[in-house]
Structure 1
């Protein structure tokens, strides 16, 4: 049984139109830039498929070069959407140059030398190149995104590239393609239909990525302190549990710094809650600037903060704590222009083989912080090892 390609393409185009409408409603509600780019990508595919289905019925310049340019635009807007979603700077000029060169080649091969097989080669080679670039962009996100969310769009791009290369092979082997759809050979017809279905699956991949983004935002809201931008207690304890398991597995050292703003109640009483908020915000800014990207920093509640230093030995931990204590803790100015500063008390604890869990280590750091408070504040105290 032969595949009736015009009917199949028309059906795929209608399905794509329905998916495009759904994504359009989502983009309108979410007001998110990357969704608008993906909506444009799906729209290009939808119109391109519907034009392609009219090959042999409508003018060739409309149903072949224009349709192919629209399908190429799908990949271009897909890539720019990825860049916006992942916060990556893509080589936009390079991508535009590739599409522009393809457009010039299409014009020349259509109205210059009228070489239809060469047009198929240029289209599918460009399609395969852009698809592999898109797959690579997704692959590079595996460290920060779950593979389950990336696998559908990444697989679609890889399959799209393979199908394009398969059409290149068929043309090089001399299979006639035909300018009208009834003339298209069955191997070509099957590859064209599969390519359109892959483009359809890519639309579902967009929805999957958007759902993943929403899940990440919800998780960030649940684990981030909105005032300082640091991890809250819940987020900090999750990260500490992961780091503790890594320390147990590798046997690496670890240090914990427990911090508390001295006389914070007096700041609130004298400067109001706005002044207290400024003091906490200043704490967050300094902590982010003083420590390494892989150190764990969290606000545990009120004016109490905690820093975990993976791999830090005794001298490193004490040096970091003392440097932090001596930082500029100016958080505001009084009406006379005088700088308002506060001081810190810091308790330091070093991980020990006798610590039963991460909570025991935190408890020792907290005890050292309490001793720093009793000792007059504005000082660093090192915890005793566990008995």
Structure 2
């Protein structure tokens, strides 16, 4: 038979340890939404569990009220952390009134002499149902950006939550629980400590790593690949096309008279032009096409599996789409145009050489009047 007080002592120390471990992590990285709230939830659970160890020996009514309030505070802080992490503002609006209601009920139950064991049972039922619900949310197939880690945590939460809830219902119904059932309930509670404690930190770390990768590979203004990331992905696409003996084309694109646009209407209009140009291009591209902003108003595009004729057609479609775009910040009084240079990458040609040819074709489009597409000369084999 597992000693209840020893179990609560171990779990309480574990929760407080998790909370303390989060402090240096929060100081060393950007605060993930909900992580600070999660830390306080672990602290509330840990303090309440330690209080549950010493309270029966004191017999002080005020400690019974504090323990009841601690369980509810921990549960609601945990729910708030998940709501913040996954971006459910509508759920957060209900947490304050629901928390206040449950706190009143818990304190009233303690003042009316609710036995300590029954308090634990009710708390276990609430924790079980809450964990099962959280697990179901993490396992939902439509959860945006769901990862294998989230699915694993969700499956564990659902299993442990269901175990705790079933145990609590059996006890509340007045039936005796076999020893193996008691052991399963304790194991479920311990799993929730380990999985939730480590899981939330790992999910936060995973999200922080993804955010840092996005910052390192994307352009802040347009959301497109930056210069370094474009070259890396376009080169990988070139090598794949070479192995598969498929064509691949590259395009250089430049917004016409961009400096004059900035000087005439201001940088806000220039930024709008860059954003709308990027969005117009992305709307007409395939999922595996690679578009990047090389700097200023200059963009590059790689079209895997596309020959020169197909690339010319795609470039004309882009040119027409940009021509139809209107800029709100200048009162729709400016017609934006783009010049494009297109080349088919030669099998013996590297990416930099192909882009240089595309840039030369772009220069020809500018020289010939802008707002046009020019095909580059056939690439020469390297010596």
TM-score (norm 2): 0.69
Corresponding position of 1:139: 139
After superposition, the Cα gap between the structure-2 partners of 1:320 and 1:129, relative to the gap in structure 1 and judged at 3 Å, is: farther
Q: CA deviation at 1:92?
A: 2.3
Cα distance in 1 for residues equivalent to 2:144 and 2:31 = 27
User: Aligned residue for 1:223?
Assistant: 217
Displacement of 1:70 = 2.7
Partner of 2:21: 22
Flag the 1:62–1:369 CA change in 2: closer, same or farther, 3 A: farther
| Equivalent position of 2:227 in the other structure | 233
**Alignment-derived partner of residue 47 in structure 1:** 47
Mark the runs of 5 or more structure 2 residues left unpaired by the alignment.
Answer: 242-247
Match of 1:304 in 2: 298
**SS of aligned partner of 1:57:** helix
**Cross-structure match for 1:181:** none
* Shift, 1:167, TM fit: 1.5
What is the aligned length?
368
Deviations 1:138-194 (A, max 9, x none): 33586525323x2564344224312322313531361279xxxxxxx7843662464
CA contact (8 A) 1:134 1:154 kept: yes
Contact kept in structure 1, 2:138 and 2:146, CA below 8 Å: no
Query: What's the counterpart of residue 206 of structure 2?
Result: 212
Cα deviation for residue 91 of structure 1 reads 1.6
2:76 pairs with 1:76: yes
Query: Alpha carbons of 1:85 and 1:92: their partners in 2 closer, same or farther (altered >3 Å)?
Result: closer
Quote the RMSD (CA, aligned, Å): 5.3
1:23, CA displacement in angstroms?
1.2
> CA, structure 1 residues 291+61, in 2 after alignment: closer, same or farther (shift >3 Å)?
farther
**Whole-angstrom distance in 1 between the partners of 2:10 and 2:157:** 21
Give the distance between the partners of 2:31 and 2:59, measured in 1 at CA.
38
Aligned to 1:284: 275
What is the deviation of 1:232?
A: 1.0
> Deviation of residue 134 (structure 1)?
2.1
User: What's the offset of the Cα at 1:195?
Assistant: 0.6
Deviation at 1:204, TM superposition (A): 1.5
**Does the CA contact (< 8 Å) of 1:343 and 1:378 recur in 2?**
yes
DSSP-derived class of the 1:11 partner: helix
For residues 292-335 of structure 1, the C-alpha deviation after alignment (integer angstroms, 9 at most, x for no partner) is 4968642134532246899x999887444313134346999xxx
How far apart, in 1, do the equivalents of 2:378 and 2:100 lie?
Answer: 67
> 1:322 aligned to 2:316?
no
Inter-CA distance 114–323: structure 2 relative to 1 (3 Å threshold) = same
Q: Tell me, in whole angstroms, the C-alpha distance in 2 between the residues paired with 1:261 and 1:124.
A: 63
Q: Distance in 1 between matches of 2:290 and 2:276?
A: 14
Kindly state the Cα deviation for residue 71 of structure 1 after the two structures are TM-superposed.
3.3
Alpha carbons 1:282, 1:331 under 8 Å: kept: no
> What's the CA shift string for 1:34-74, capped at 9, x where partnerless?
22111111111111211222353234866666535433433
> Where does residue 180 of structure 1 map in the other structure?
none
The answer to whether the 8 A contact 2:252-2:362 is kept is yes
1:122-147 deviation per Cα after TM superposition (whole angstroms, max 9, x unaligned): 43443233223322443358652532
Indicate whether 1:162 and 2:162 are aligned. Answer: yes
Tell me which residue corresponds to 2:34: 34
CA contact (8 A) 1:227 1:277 kept: no
Find the aligned partners of 1:280 and 1:220 in 2 and give their Cα distance.
20
| SS of residue paired to 1:54 | helix
CA distance in 2, matches of 1:237, 1:67: 59
The structure 1 residue matched to 2:371, chosen from 375, 378, 386, is 378
Name the SS for the 1:91 alignment partner: helix
TM-superposed CA distance for 1:289, in Å, is 6.5
